[in-house]
């Protein structure tokens, strides 16, 4: 920028300086004219050049100086950090929270009543596996434990199951669903008390409610109580194995639906106050 200003000054001043005559022909005779045009040109050019240079320098430094001066009454501010000399600060990323299945209504728990019910169904002839499929290790262990079950009790369990069996095309899951509902309706062992028959119970549960006395007898006469410890450990191991694929399945469903499940439902039931037939007496 200094070279550009210098060129402008030299160009703009050259015509003016060139107007100074080298020899004054109108001077009187006898008087000698001293030529000072050379030194005068250099002096004027240098003075104008310094003036323009100071003006440009002041115009560049003054705004920055004025910007650095704090305003009257304003609080001092910290100097801005340079962008090119210091490394950028690392942004602390938030670690994603673990996928809690309980927030979506999914829990893995061992239930003794369910294990007792499924062992009794095994003795009754319930077999969800295909005819040519090999039974699982756990099912093989349960069948081994029930090998010495009383034949009469086994026959009565089988008779009830076959008599109340759902017709085709019901699946094995459909067959077991009613007994699972009954298992959760029973009381805790060893009593396994059945609920009273009422219209409030589901129809599917009412169809197999008479299986409850056979369950209590099965609990007393079999060795299921002694084997519940080993069965509980096997259930817990299977639950740990199914935890990861269950979480992936729920994640996929939520991603597809773009929503969260509703875990609480509210229901308003109108209740009529009983009428006494007497009008309230006015307040006195």
pLDDT in tens, 128-176: 888 788 888 999 999 999 999 999 999 999 999 999 999 989 999 999 9
The Cα–Cα gap between 170 and 174 comes to: 6
| pLDDT value of residue 97 | 52
- Domain extent, residue 140, equals 112-126+136-257
Tally of domains within the chain: 1
Is 149 among the domain residues? yes
The whole-number pLDDT of residue 245 equals: 93
By three-state DSSP, how is residue 208 classified? Answer: coil
Residue 104 falls inside a structural domain: no
Within-domain flag for 191: yes
Among 106-120, 204-218, 269-283, the range scoring the smallest mean pLDDT is: 269-283
What band does 20 get if pLDDT is binned at 50, 70 and 90? very low
Q: Average pLDDT, whole number, for the chain? A: 75
Please say if the pLDDT value at position 241 is more than 70. Answer: yes
Q: Please report whether residue 96 resides in a domain.
A: no
pLDDT of 225 = 92
157 is a domain residue: yes
- pLDDT surpasses 90 at 192: yes
Of the chain, the percentage scoring pLDDT greater than 70 comes to: 62
| Gap between the Cα atoms of 184 and 200, Å rounded | 15
pLDDT score of 106 more than 80: yes
Whether residue 10 is contained in a domain is answered as no
At 100, phi and psi to the nearest 5?
-90, 115
pLDDT of residue 2: 39
Q: How far apart are CA 176 and CA 121, in angstroms?
A: 8
The reported pLDDT for the residue numbered 258 is: 86
Question: What's the pTM value of the predicted model, to 2 decimals?
Answer: 0.56
Domain assignment of residue 208, yes or no: yes
Residue 238 has pLDDT above 80, yes or no: yes
Domain assignment of residue 122, yes or no: yes
Alpha helices in 104-197 (DSSP H): 112-124, 137-145, 151-163, 172-185
Q: Is-contact 169 93, C-beta < 8 A?
A: no
């Amino acid at each position: 920028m200094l070279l550009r200003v210098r060129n402008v000054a030299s160009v703009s001043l050259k015509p003016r300086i060139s107007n100074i005559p080298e020899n004054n022909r109108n001077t009187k005779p006898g008087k000698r004219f001293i030529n000072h045009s050379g030194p005068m040109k250099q002096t004027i050019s240098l003075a104008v050049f310094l003036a323009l240079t100071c003006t440009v320098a002041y115009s560049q430094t003054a705004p920055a100086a004025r910007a650095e001066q704090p305003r009257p009454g304003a609080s001092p501010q910290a100097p801005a950090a340079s962008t090119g000399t210091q490394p950028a600060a690392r942004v602390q990323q938030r670690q994603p929270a673990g996928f809690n299945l309980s927030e979506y209504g999914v829990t893995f728990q061992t239930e003794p009543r369910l294990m007792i019910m499924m062992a009794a169904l095994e003795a009754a002839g319930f077999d969800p596996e295909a005819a040519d499929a090999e039974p699982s290790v756990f099912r093989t262990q349960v069948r081994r434990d029930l090998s010495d079950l009383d034949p009469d009790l086994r026959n009565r369990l089988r008779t009830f199951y076959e008599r109340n069996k759902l017709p085709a095309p019901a699946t094995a899951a459909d067959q077991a669903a009613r007994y699972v509902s009954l298992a959760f309706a029973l009381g805790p062992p060893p009593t396994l008390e059945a609920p009273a028959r009422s219209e409030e119970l589901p129809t599917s549960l009412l169809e197999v409610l008479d299986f409850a006395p056979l369950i209590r007898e099965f609990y007393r006469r079999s060795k299921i109580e002694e084997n519940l410890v080993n069965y509980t450990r096997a259930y817990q191991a299977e639950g740990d194995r199914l935890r990861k694929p269950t979480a992936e399945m729920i994640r996929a469903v939520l991603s597809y639906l773009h929503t969260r499940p509703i875990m609480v439902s509210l229901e308003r039931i109108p209740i009529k106050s009983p009428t006494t037939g007497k009008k309230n007496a006015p307040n006195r």
